Amino acid sequence: MPELEALLREERVFYPPEELVNRSNIKQFMDKHGIKSYEELLDRSKDLNWFWTEMAKEVGIEWFSEPKEIVSWEPPYVKWFVGAKYNIVHDALDKQAKLRRNKVAYIWEGEEGLERKITYGELYWEVNRLANALKELGIRKGDRVAIYLPMLPELPIAMLACAKIGAMHADVFSGFSPMALRDRINDSEAKLLITADGFYRRGGIIHLKEDADKALEDASSIEKVIVLERIGLKVPMREDRDHWWHEIVSKQPRECETEVMDANDPLFILYTSGTTGKPKGIIHAHAGYAVGVAATLKYVFDLKENDVWWCTADIGWITGHSYIVYGPLILGATSVMYCGAPDYPKPDRWWKIVEKYGVTVFYTAPTAIRMFMKLGDEWVEKHDLSSLRLLGSVGEPINPEAWLWFYKHVGKERCPIMDTWWQTETGHFIVTPLPITPLKPGSAVKPFPGIEADVFDDDGNSLARKNAGGYLVIKKPWPGMLRGIWRNPERYAKTYWEKFEGIYLTGDAARIDEDGYFWIQGRLDDVLNVAGHRIGNSEIESALVSHPAISEAAVVGKPHEVKGEAIVAFVVLKKGYKASEDLKSELREHVGKEIGKIARPDEIYFVPDLPKTRSGKIMRRLVKAKLTGGKIGDTSTLMNPESLILIEQVIERS
């Protein structure tokens, strides 16, 4: 792959408030070790044994028996904290129930307005009772348990109960279809399924047990099903297989011994979102993952004892696993959980929640930010968001315009934005700002200390500080890294390790500017080849969204006999703007002015929506398939299938 053009130029720099810097967890860590600067911190942390040993201490990891070696690296396989005996539930729950029994672990709100607060002591009892129920139903160490639940406190309870007895949980997002659930159950060979009768979404009812039953028609590995009564639906219960949660749990004792695991025993399987093809069952292990998620959360989002943390992701994705369940619990934090649509019944639902519970640290996706931009500033401005002190972004590159809107309207120009880059496979943040770092809108800044990322050309040469796009790679092992693909070692080796020996290939394109800041340019398979120029689609999308009329954009290429590929843009208009040929011309000129004439779209389509995964990522391959007549492929993770019909209609009318 030739080097990618670096078209986007962002000169603005934002500095964190001095008080925030001085009180930050990372500044305290640096002072403790005599580290004078951010650059010195990055340099010192290259000693992986020293740094990750310190991180384990800093987040309070308690071993059943101490590790004999910090990291054993035999590419492409790694072991962290070798020889240690451990279980993540000890740090996430057992220890917290003693230290913070009466502290609230989760503040939960349902779409219909129902509220619950669960303390660490209550969480401990509920996890133990469910763990005992799982054992009664025959679940043992190493078994897989599929979890198909909406955003309820019972979801982390189910995950922790599995991990407590040494079983592996395989969470499946509650918005997935029966076929998607079936495929994941069959791949993981899960013995038990945990689901619910149903849940509310936009005022309607989702019949979850009904979908689960359809999946189980062709999922022979499932022996038992536990059903949570969420809204009181009358659902069919198969005798000898199906059990009501409240009935089987109520008779269980409140104590359950935590299984002693090897530090490198698998914790869970999580299937990737499938934006580029068939989902893969990614495996993560107990100890390395625990240290990685807790350390990154503590030092990137600076969590303190009195913070109220809200990560808006769904727990069915890695963001929810790492930063709603395991990371916050290991740190003894209070987290907000919301089960419902972000703009229901009105577009200010999220901001009401921030105000109501005094959220101090808020972490969400660029897709959500752009949606609120589209809905209008007034919905944010009517609420008191003064409790906030830090913001964050996750899921895909955040374009500068959305970054600035988030900074101005939500953070009131005083809350730094932690724009994190990572993946299901990485387990935790890889490239990320810290509360002490200057910020450039749209840049994920630099790798977290202890992690060595780079950008390579096709021959494996570093493009660092050359401002030229290439392959984003990770050069050394990191604690939360994937341990393989479930029962598919060949795919694991080929997908991530074949291109550069001993180097992890992320699948993303990126560039590193003159200051060493990383800029993610999109997926490698989305790169455009225009008249000999290699252009990342994300830069053109950023330029389009910087126009006041545009809230979202997807840019794809289609074959062109002269240029190789023509640039085609699909854009969503903000409220109050109308599609027109004049606006198309204006947008082309705007892109030319922002990043260069070579990047001006040949065609522009105005569409009401773009296809997205359930985690909010735009599925460009589906847009391209509709444009070029290609194969649609896997759509199990598609959130809004109607968007494809609308795109097809727009193309046909043009």
Strand-pair partners of 249: none
Say how far apart CA 543 and CA 540 lie, in whole Å.
5
User: In the predicted model, is pLDDT for residue 633 greater than 80?
Assistant: no
Q: How many domains does the chain have?
A: 1
Residue 643 falls within a domain, yes or no?
yes
365 by Cβ neighbours in 10 Å (0-12 / 13-18 / 19+) ranks as buried
Q: Which of 86, 41, 33, 12 is nearest to 447 (CA)?
A: 41
**What digits encode the pLDDT tens for the residues 189-248?**
999 999 999 999 989 999 999 999 999 999 999 999 999 999 999 999 999 999 999 999
Dist. CA 634–CA 171, nearest whole Å: 19
Query: In the predicted model, what is the mean pLDDT of residues 612-625?
Result: 83
SS (H, E, C) 584-606: HHHHHHHHHHHHCHHHCCCEEEE
Per-position DSSP letters for 165-194, written without gaps between them: TTPEEEE--TTS-HHHHHHHHHHHT-SEEE
Residue 120 lies in a domain: no
Are 545 and 551 a contacting pair, CB within 8 Å? yes
pLDDT bucket at 565, cuts 50 / 70 / 90 = confident
Whether 293 and 303 have beta carbons less than 8 Å apart is answered as no
- State yes or no: pLDDT of 645 exceeds 60: yes
Identify the domain containing residue 646 by its residue range: 536-653
State the pTM of this model.
0.87
Structure tokens given for 548? 């006041």
Q: pLDDT at position 537, please?
A: 82
| 312 vs 323: CA distance, rounded Å | 10
**What is residue 277's predicted lDDT score, i.e. its pLDDT?**
53
Q: What is the CATH number of the domain that holds 557?
A: 3.30.300.30
Average pLDDT over the chain, rounded to an integer: 93
What sign has the CA pseudo-torsion 41, 47, 48, 54? negative
Residue 580 has pLDDT above 70, yes or no: yes
* Residue 597 located in a structural domain: yes
Give the β-pairing of 603-606 and 533-535.
Answer: unpaired
Q: pLDDT tens digit string along 405-427?
A: 999 999 999 999 999 999 999 99
Instruction: Report phi then psi at 329, rounded to 5.
Output: -70, -40
- What would the pLDDT profile of 255-269 be if each residue is shown by its tens digit? 999 999 999 999 999
Residue 378 in tokens: 């007034």
Please give the torsion angle defined by the CA atoms of residues 566, 621, 619 and 300, in that order, rounded to the nearest 10 degrees: -80
Q: Are 148 and 172 in contact (CB under 8 A)?
A: yes
Burial of 641 (0-12, 13-18, 19+ CB in 10 A): exposed
Query: For residue 383, is pLDDT > 80?
Result: yes
Helix (H, G, I), strand (E, B) or coil at 277: coil
Instruction: Specify the pLDDT at position 306.
Output: 97
Residue 634 included in any domain: yes
Question: How high is the pLDDT of residue 7?
Answer: 59
Report the alpha-carbon distance of residue 46 to residue 55 in Å, rounded: 13
pLDDT at 467: 87
Token pair of 284, please? 């993560």
Secondary structure letter of residue 525 according to DSSP: G
State residue 65's pLDDT score: 98
Percent of the chain with pLDDT over 70: 97
Residue 362 included in any domain: no
Q: Inform me whether the pLDDT recorded for 279 exceeds 90.
A: no
pLDDT at 12 over 70: yes
pLDDT tens, position by position, 43-65: 999 999 999 999 999 999 999 99
In the prediction, which pLDDT does 615 show? 66
Nearest to 446 by CA among 536, 512, 362, 514: 512
Cis peptide before 366 (omega within 30 of 0): no
Name, of 385-394, 545-554, 626-635, the range with top average pLDDT: 385-394
The pLDDT of residue 20 is: 97
Question: Within a domain: residue 247?
Answer: no
How much of the chain exceeds pLDDT 90, in percent?
Answer: 81
Q: Which residues contact 67 (CB under 8 A, 6 or more apart)?
A: 81, 82, 83, 84, 263, 287
- Residue 604 falls within a domain, yes or no? yes
Q: Is residue 126 part of a domain?
A: no
Report the sign of the C-alpha dihedral through residues 580, 406, 567, 591, in that order. positive
Backbone angles phi, psi at 115, to 5 degrees: -125, 145
The tokens for 263 are 């530090």
Residue 397 pLDDT level (bands cut at 50, 70, 90): confident
What is the structure's pLDDT at 81? 98
